[in-house]
C-alpha cells in the first residue's frame, strides 16, 4: 500500500497541484481495434462526512465491502439518495480560504472488482476516467495510481502491470470539495461523483499514444490539406479521396469542405503497428481576417446556445441518447452553434457535433467567479501558484478535443476576472494549436483573445460595437486591437422563466453589422431537478429546495428547454427569429422574395409552398419552384393569382420552407422557415365580414326585481353595475385588471434595483387595486358604469368607464380608461378579467397561435384558427409566473364538452389568457404543484401587455414594448353559444 507522504503539509485534495501519477493528456477516440472494458455499472459505495473519516484499507484486495450500499457508476451520489444537491450561482458554498476546503467534505468511497475478458492479451493498458467531480484518489489491486482534480476533464493511468485475469479491485475515493472546487465555480448544482465513464483500454505494442489531425480548406482552390501527426508513426488512408499516406506528411487534394451547415466528413483510418483507429475527417479553416471571423473564407454567424450538461434525474451524467436529443432539438430549431458553458462536454457530444453539424466554442473547466465577492482577493488566475493547475486544464481540454472539426474556438473559461494565469493558458494553447482562435469574455482589454466577446450587452451597446464605435479603452494600442476584432455575445437573452423578450431586435443587429457575428442565448436547458410531492406528483426543484444554507433560488432554471426537454415558448420564438431563410411578401406586386441567410448552403435542400386562408380556413395551396439561390442571395417568386374563396373575411398567404428530403436531424417536411402576409385588409374593428356573428335589434335596459338591471342577455347589479348573469349563468363580472404574476424578468436582478419592476409594482400597489363605483347610469340603450381604480395610499388612479349595450343575443362592452395623476411605472397589463364556469374547458380562437406570445416575443405566432384545452394553454414555468397569452385574438369561443359556451369578439383584437387558477394563486405559487384548479375559469381579455425583456440578467423591456399608462379604449362582444351555456359547479342539469 502506498502511504501518504508524511511531510506533505497539505493533503492532496487541498494542494494547488492538479494531481499525481497521471499519463500526459491526449486525444479521445471512441473506438479502435484495441480492446476496451467499460467499468460502469453497480459499484459498492460508502459515504463519509469528512475526507479523513475512513482509512484507505478499503482499497486492499480482500476487503469485504458486502455491507456497503450499491451505487450506479456513472452518477452523482446526491441524486442517488446520499446527501443533497446544492445550488449557488456565484458564491462559493464554503468560506473563501483557498486552497482549503471545509472539514465537512462529503467523501464517497467507490469500489468494484472486475475480471478481464478471456482473450485479454496482457501488456500495457490504461485506466481512463472521463469525469469525476471534484477530486479523486485511485487504487488498483491495492496500489495507488494517483490523485486528480479537474471535474470535467479526463485522466488516464498506466495500469498494465497491475492487472490480473480475475478479481481486479478498483478503488476510488472521491471528495466533493477540493482545491479544484475554487476553479469550478460555475453557475450550476454542486454535484460530486464519478459522473462519466470509467474504461480500461488495452495499449498493444505500437499502439497510438496520441495523434493530431490537421485539416484545412482553401476556398480559393477548393482543396483540402491534411496532415496527421501521430506518435508512433503510421499511415492514414482516406478511401474516398484515394489517399494512403504516411503520418506526418501533408497532402493537398480537392475536397468538399466541412461546415456546420454541410457537415461533410470523410471516413479515414489511422494505422500504426499496434492499432487501427477509425477517423472522421472534416476539412475546414477558421481564421480572423479583416476584423471578421471566417470559416473557409466566409463570415459565419452564430445562432447559438450555451449548453450545460443536464438531465433532471441524472444531473451531468448524460447518456448518448440525451446528447443526441439535444443536438437534434437544436438543429430542428435552427440553432447552429454551442458554447460548452462552462466546461468541456462529454467527448461523445463533440463527435455528434462533427456529424450533425454544429459550430462549437469549447470552454475550459474554469470559473473563479466567487472571488468577485471578496474583491477578487486571492483569485487563482492571478496567483502563479495556481498556474500549473490552469495549464493542466487547458492541456487536458485541447489534447482531448483537438481533432474535432466542429470545435472552431477554444475558450479559456468563464468569469475568472483577469490574471497572468489566463495569459499563460492562452500562450500554451496558441503554441499547441495555432489554427483555432481563442475566446475569453472576462477581460475587456481582450489581451489574450482573438474575438471581442461580451455577455448581456444591451441592444444599444451591441449596435455601437457593431458600428465599431464603442467607447475607447484607455490604452490606445489595446483599443485599436479590440476595435478590429469580430464581436460576439457569448451570452445574451437570459431565458429565465417567461422570455426572453427582445430576440428579434438583437437579430436585426446581427444581420446588419458585419462585425456582430451572432450570439449564444443563455441557456439551453433549465436545471430543475425532478422531485415528487407526497402524493407522487412530479415537479422540478430548484435552489433552496434542499435546505441549502446559501442558494440562488430558481436562477438555475433559465433555459430554452424545460428540465424534461420540452421546448419552451422562448425556443419556438428563437427558432423563428434565427430562421436561415427570410421570406417577404409583396402583395401589391404579387411576389415573394426569399433570401438565403445560410453561410454555406444553397436553398436546394428546401421545398417552398404557399397556402391561402380566409378567416382562418385553409383554402388553396401550391408549390413554388425556386431557382438555385446561393448563401446571401435572394430569389423572387411569383404568387399565383388570388384564389377564389367560398368564405368571406380576412385572407392571408402563408409561405413555408420545409426540408425537401430527410436529413440526419429531421424528416422531409420539417418546417425551417415561414412567413405570413395579409392578402386583403381586415374589416373594421379587426373583423372580416364573415368573422362577425350578426346580432339582432338593440335592447333597452330595464329594471328588474331584486335590484337588477336586464340588458339583452345580461343581468346586472343595479347598485354596482356589475354583470351578474349572462344568458342566465352566473359569473364574476369583467372588470379592469392591471396585475400579472410577475415573471422572473419582472423580478429583475438582485444587484440592480432599477431592474426590479416586481418590487416597484408592489410598492405602488398594482397587485391590490381597489375599484370604487362612482356612478351607475341607465340610459336609453346603454348601461354606463363609471369607476375609479386605485391602490391604498396612492392618489393616482385609472378612471374606467364601462358602457354596456345589447343587440339580439349579443352583449357588448366598451371600456374607456383614463389615467389620473402621476404614473411612473409601466402597467403589467391593461384589460378586463372575468370569472367563468370551469367546465368551459375547450378554447378555439382566431388570432395568433398556436403558442404563447408577448409583445416582444411574438414573432413565432401566426394568424389562424387554433384550438386548445385550458390546460394546454398553460405554460408550466418551473417557478409559476405570468404565462399563456395568445395575441391578436379576433374572436374566441370557450366551450363545454356538450358544445355550449361563450364567444368573445374583440375590437380591436385582444390578448387572450384563460386559466383554471387566479393571478393571485399564480403569484403565490413556488412550484407547479402549488397550483390547484379552482371552481372558476379566470379569463383575461387584454387590450395590451407589458413586454418581457430579459432583465433577470440582461436588458429591460425595450421602450417600444413598455406598457405606459395612457388613455385607452377597447371593446368586447359576448355571445352565449347555447342558452344553457353554463351551469355553476355542483348544480345538476
Please confirm, yes or no, whether 491 is among the known catalytic residues.
yes
Q: How far is the CB of 756 from ligand GAL (least distance, A)?
A: 16
Report the alpha-carbon angle 800-802-806, nearest 5.
Answer: 170
What angle is formed at CA 498 by the lines to CA 520 and CA 871, rounded to 5 degrees? Answer: 130
Q: Backbone dihedral region of 456: left (phi > 0), alpha (psi from -120 to 50 degrees) or beta?
A: left
Annotation marks residue 579 as catalytic:
no
Comparing C-alpha atoms, which of 600, 952, 946, 598 is closest to residue 766? 946
Ranked by CB distance to ligand GAL, the top (closest) residue is: 187
Interface with ligand GAL in residues 383-422 (CB under 6 A): 414-415
Residue among 98 and 442 whose Cβ is closer to ligand GAL: 442
How far apart (Å, rounded) are the C-alpha atoms in residues 295 and 574?
24
Determine how β-strand 708-711 pairs with β-strand 714-717.
antiparallel
User: Going residue by residue from 292 to 331, which x/- string records binding to ligand GAL, judged by CB under 6 A?
Assistant: ----------------------------------------
Q: Contact with ligand GAL (CB under 6 A): which of 491, 526, 893, 942? A: 491
- Min CB(439)–ligand GAL separation in Å: 13
Exactly one of 558, 599, 852, 942 binds ligand GAL (CB under 6 A); that residue is 558
Map the footprint of ligand GAL across residues 328-347, applying CB under 6 A: 342
Please tell me the distance from the alpha carbon of residue 569 to that of residue 866, in angstroms, as a whole number. Answer: 16
The DSSP secondary-structure symbol of 958 reads P
- Site size for ligand GAL, by CB under 6 A? 12
Q: State the pairing for strand pair 359-363/407-411.
A: parallel
Which of residues 269 and 461 has its CB atom nearest to ligand GAL in the complex? 461
CB 471 within 8 A of CB 436: no
Distance CA 777, CA 718 (A): 9
Nearer to ligand GAL, 45 or 492 (CB): 492
Which member of 302, 487, 522, 652 binds ligand GAL (CB under 6 A)? 522
Which of 75, 88, 89, 784 binds ligand GAL (CB under 6 A)? It is 89
Rounded to the nearest whole angstrom, what is the least distance from the CB of residue 44 to ligand GAL in the complex? 35
List, in order, residues 6 or more apart from 861 with CB less than 8 Å away: 848, 849, 851, 853, 886, 887, 888
Binding ligand GAL (rule: CB under 6 A), the pick from 318, 455, 655, 827 is 455
H-only helix segments in 382-468: 387-401, 420-432, 459-466
Q: Of the two residues 499 and 616, which places its CB atom closer to ligand GAL in the complex?
A: 499
CA dihedral sign, ordered 935, 941, 945, 950:
positive
CB of 188 to ligand GAL, least distance (A): 8
User: 452, 464 in Cβ contact below 8 A?
Assistant: no
Nearer to ligand GAL, 358 or 556 (CB): 556
- The rounded distance, in Å, linking the Cα atoms of 610 and 333 is 21
Q: Terminus-to-terminus CA distance in the chain, angstroms?
A: 83
What is the arrangement of strands in the sheet containing 155-158, beginning at the earlier edge strand?
A: 36-38, 198-202, 125-129, 155-158
Helix axis angle, 420-432 to 387-401, nearest 10°? 30
What's the Cα-to-Cα distance from 259 to each of 23, 119, 252, 671, 968, rounded to whole Å?
A: 33, 42, 19, 21, 52
CB count in 10 Å sphere of residue 627: 12
Closest C-alpha to 359, from 297, 439, 300, 288: 300
In the 8-state DSSP scheme, what is residue 391?
A: H
DSSP 3-state percent helix, strand, coil across the chain (nearest 5): 15, 35, 45
Contacts of 872 (CB under 8 A, 6+ apart): none
3-state SS class at 554: helix
Q: Which three cell numbers stand for residue 903?
A: 364567444
- Please state the closest distance from residue 556 (CB atom) to ligand GAL, in A: 8
Q: Which residue has the cell 441549502?
A: 548
Residues 129-188 that bind ligand GAL (CB under 6 A): 187
Q: What is the DSSP string of 781-823?
A: S-EEEEEEEEETT---EEEEEEEEEEETTEEEEEEEEEEES--
CB of 656 to ligand GAL, least distance (A): 34
Active-site residue among 156, 197, 491, 505? 491
Q: Which of 197, 202, 415, 441 is catalytic?
A: 415
DSSP for residue 598:
-
C-alpha cell read off for 460: 444599444
| E strand or H helix that includes residue 272 | strand 266-272
CA-atom Rg of the chain in angstroms: 32
> Considering the complex, what minimum distance in angstroms separates the CB of residue 192 from ligand GAL?
19
Sign of CA dihedral 12, 16, 18, 20: negative
Q: Does 208 bind ligand GAL (CB under 6 A)?
A: no
Beta bridge partners of 190: 86
Q: How far is the CB of 392 from ligand GAL (least distance, A)?
A: 22
Antiparallel, parallel or unpaired: β 591-596 and 651-659: unpaired
**Residues numbered 912-971 forming contacts with ligand GAL, rule: CB under 6 A:** 953
User: Catalytic residue numbers?
Assistant: 415, 491
The binding site for ligand GAL (CB under 6 A) comprises 89, 187, 342, 414-415, 455, 491, 494, 522, 555, 558, 953
Amino acid at each position: 500500500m502506498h502511504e501518504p507522504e508524511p511531510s506533505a503539509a497539505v493533503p492532496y485534495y487541498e494542494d494547488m497541484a492538479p494531481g499525481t501519477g497521471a499519463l500526459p493528456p491526449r486525444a479521445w477516440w471512441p473506438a479502435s481495434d484495441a480492446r476496451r472494458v467499460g467499468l460502469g455499472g453497480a459499484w459498492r459505495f460508502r459515504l463519509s462526512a469528512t475526507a479523513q473519516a475512513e482509512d484507505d484499507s478499503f482499497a486492499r484486495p480482500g476487503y469485504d465491502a458486502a455491507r456497503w450500499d450499491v451505487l450506479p457508476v456513472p452518477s452523482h451520489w446526491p441524486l442517488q439518495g446520499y446527501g443533497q444537491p446544492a445550488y449557488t450561482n456565484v458564491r462559493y458554498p464554503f468560506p473563501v480560504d483557498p486552497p482549503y476546503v471545509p472539514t465537512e467534505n462529503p467523501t464517497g468511497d467507490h469500489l468494484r472488482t472486475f475480471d478481464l475478458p478471456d482473450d485479454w492479451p496482457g501488456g500495457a493498458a490504461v485506466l481512463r476516467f472521463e469525469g469525476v467531480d471534484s477530486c479523486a484518489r485511485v487504487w488498483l489491486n491495492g496500489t495507488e495510481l494517483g490523485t486528480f482534480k479537474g471535474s470535467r476533464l479526463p485522466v488516464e493511468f498506466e495500469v498494465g502491470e497491475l492487472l490480473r485475469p480475475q478479481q481486479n479491485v478498483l478503488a476510488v475515493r472521491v471528495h466533493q470539495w477540493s482545491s479544484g472546487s475554487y476553479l469550478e465555480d460555475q453557475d450550476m448544482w454542486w454535484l460530486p461523483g464519478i459522473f462519466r465513464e470509467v474504461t480500461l483500454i488495452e495499449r498493444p505494442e505500437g499502439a497510438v499514444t496520441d495523434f493530431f489531425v490537421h485539416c484545412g480548406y482553401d476556398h480559393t482552390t477548393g482543396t483540402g490539406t491534411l496532415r496527421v501527426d501521430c506518435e508512433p508513426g503510421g499511415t492514414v488512408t482516406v478511401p474516398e479521396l484515394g489517399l494512403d499516406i504516411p503520418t506526418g506528411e501533408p497532402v493537398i487534394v480537392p475536397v468538399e469542405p466541412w461546415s456546420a451547415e454541410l457537415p461533410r466528413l470523410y471516413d479515414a483510418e489511422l494505422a500504426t503497428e499496434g492499432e487501427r483507429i477509425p477517423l472522421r475527417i472534416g476539412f475546414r479553416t477558421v481564421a480572423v481576417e479583416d476584423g471578421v471571423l471566417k470559416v473557409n473564407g466566409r463570415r459565419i454567424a452564430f445562432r447559438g446556445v450555451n449548453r450545460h450538461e443536464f438531465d433532471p434525474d441524472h444531473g451531468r451524467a448524460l447518456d448518448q441518447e440525451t446528447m443526441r436529443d439535444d443536438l437534434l432539438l437544436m438543429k430542428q430549431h435552427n440553432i447552429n452553434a454551442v458554447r460548452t458553458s462552462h466546461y468541456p462536454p462529454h467527448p461523445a457530444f463533440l463527435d455528434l457535433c462533427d456529424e450533425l453539424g454544429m459550430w462549437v466554442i469549447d470552454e475550459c473547466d474554469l470559473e473563479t467567479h466567487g472571488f468577485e465577492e471578496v474583491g477578487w482577493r486571492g483569485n487563482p488566475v492571478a496567483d502563479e501558484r495556481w498556474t500549473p493547475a490552469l495549464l493542466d486544464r487547458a492541456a487536458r481540454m485541447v489534447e482531448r478535443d483537438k481533432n474535432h472539426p466542429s470545435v472552431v474556438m477554444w475558450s479559456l473559461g468563464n468569469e475568472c476576472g483577469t490574471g497572468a494565469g489566463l495569459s499563460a493558458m492562452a500562450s500554451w494553447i496558441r503554441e499547441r494549436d495555432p489554427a483555432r482562435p481563442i475566446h475569453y469574455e472576462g477581460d475587456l482589454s481582450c489581451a489574450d483573445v482573438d474575438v471581442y466577446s461580451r455577455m448581456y450587452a444591451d441592444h444599444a451597446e451591441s449596435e455601437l460595437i457593431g458600428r465599431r464605435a464603442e467607447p475607447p479603452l484607455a490604452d490606445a494600442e489595446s483599443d485599436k486591437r479590440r476595435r478590429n476584432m469580430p464581436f460576439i455575445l457569448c451570452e445574451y437573452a437570459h431565458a429565465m422563466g417567461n422570455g426572453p423578450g427582445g430576440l428579434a431586435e438583437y437579430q436585426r443587429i446581427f444581420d446588419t453589422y458585419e462585425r456582430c457575428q451572432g450570439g449564444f442565448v443563455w441557456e439551453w436547458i433549465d436545471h430543475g431537478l425532478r422531485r415528487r410531492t407526497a402524493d407522487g406528483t412530479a415537479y422540478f426543484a430548484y435552489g433552496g429546495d434542499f435546505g441549502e444554507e446559501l442558494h440562488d433560488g430558481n436562477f438555475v432554471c433559465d433555459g430554452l428547454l424545460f428540465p424534461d426537454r420540452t421546448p419552451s415558448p422562448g425556443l419556438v420564438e428563437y427558432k423563428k427569429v434565427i430562421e436561415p431563410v427570410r421570406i417577404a411578401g409583396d402583395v401589391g406586386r404579387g411576389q415573394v422574395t426569399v433570401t438565403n441567410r445560410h453561410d454555406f448552403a444553397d436553398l436546394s435542400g428546401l421545398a417552398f409552398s404557399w397556402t391561402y386562408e380566409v378567416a382562418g380556413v385553409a383554402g388553396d395551396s401550391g408549390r413554388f419552384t425556386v431557382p438555385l439561390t446561393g448563401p446571401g442571395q435572394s430569389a423572387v417568386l411569383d404568387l399565383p393569382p388570388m384564389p377564389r374563396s367560398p368564405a368571406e373575411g380576412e385572407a392571408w398567404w402563408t409561405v413555408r420552407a420545409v426540408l425537401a428530403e430527410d436529413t440526419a436531424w429531421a424528416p422531409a417536411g420539417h418546417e425551417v422557415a415561414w412567413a405570413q402576409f395579409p392578402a386583403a385588409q381586415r374589416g373594421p374593428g379587426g373583423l372580416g365580414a364573415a368573422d362577425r356573428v350578426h346580432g339582432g335589434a338593440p335592447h333597452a335596459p330595464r329594471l328588474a326585481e331584486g335590484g337588477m338591471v336586464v340588458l339583452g342577455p345580461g343581468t346586472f347589479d343595479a347598485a354596482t353595475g356589475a354583470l351578474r348573469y349572462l344568458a342566465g349563468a352566473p359569473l364574476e363580472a369583467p372588470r379592469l385588471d392591471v396585475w400579472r404574476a410577475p415573471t422572473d424578468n419582472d423580478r429583475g436582478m438582485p444587484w440592480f434595483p432599477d431592474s426590479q419592476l416586481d418590487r416597484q409594482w408592489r410598492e405602488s400597489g398594482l397587485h391590490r387595486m381597489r375599484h370604487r363605483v362612482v356612478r351607475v347610469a341607465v340610459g336609453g340603450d346603454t348601461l354606463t358604469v363609471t369607476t375609479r381604480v386605485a391602490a391604498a395610499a396612492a392618489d393616482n388612479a385609472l378612471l374606467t368607464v364601462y358602457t354596456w349595450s345589447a343587440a339580439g343575443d349579443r352583449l357588448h362592452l366598451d371600456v374607456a380608461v383614463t389615467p389620473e395623476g402621476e404614473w411612473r411605472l409601466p402597467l403589467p397589463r391593461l384589460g378586463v378579467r372575468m370569472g367563468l364556469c370551469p367546465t368551459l374547458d375547450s378554447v378555439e380562437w382566431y388570432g395568433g397561435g398556436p403558442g404563447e406570445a408577448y409583445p416582444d416575443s411574438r414573432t413565432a405566432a401566426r394568424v389562424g384558427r387554433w384550438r386548445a384545452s385550458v390546460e394546454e394553454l398553460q405554460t408550466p414555468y418551473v417557478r409559476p409566473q405570468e404565462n399563456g397569452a395568445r395575441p391578436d385574438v379576433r374572436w374566441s369561443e370557450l366551450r363545454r364538452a356538450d358544445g355550449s359556451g361563450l364567444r368573445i369578439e374583440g375590437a380591436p383584437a385582444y390578448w387572450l389568457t384563460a386559466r383554471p387558477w387566479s393571478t393571485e394563486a399564480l403569484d403565490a405559487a413556488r412550484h407547479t404543484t402549488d397550483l390547484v384548479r379552482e371552481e372558476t375559469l379566470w379569463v383575461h381579455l387584454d387590450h395590451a401587455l407589458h413586454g418581457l425583456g430579459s432583465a433577470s440578467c440582461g436588458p429591460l423591456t425595450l421602450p417600444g414594448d413598455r406598457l405606459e399608462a395612457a388613455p385607452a379604449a377597447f371593446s368586447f362582444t359576448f355571445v352565449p353559444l347555447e342558452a344553457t351555456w353554463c351551469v355553476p359547479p355542483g348544480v345538476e342539469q
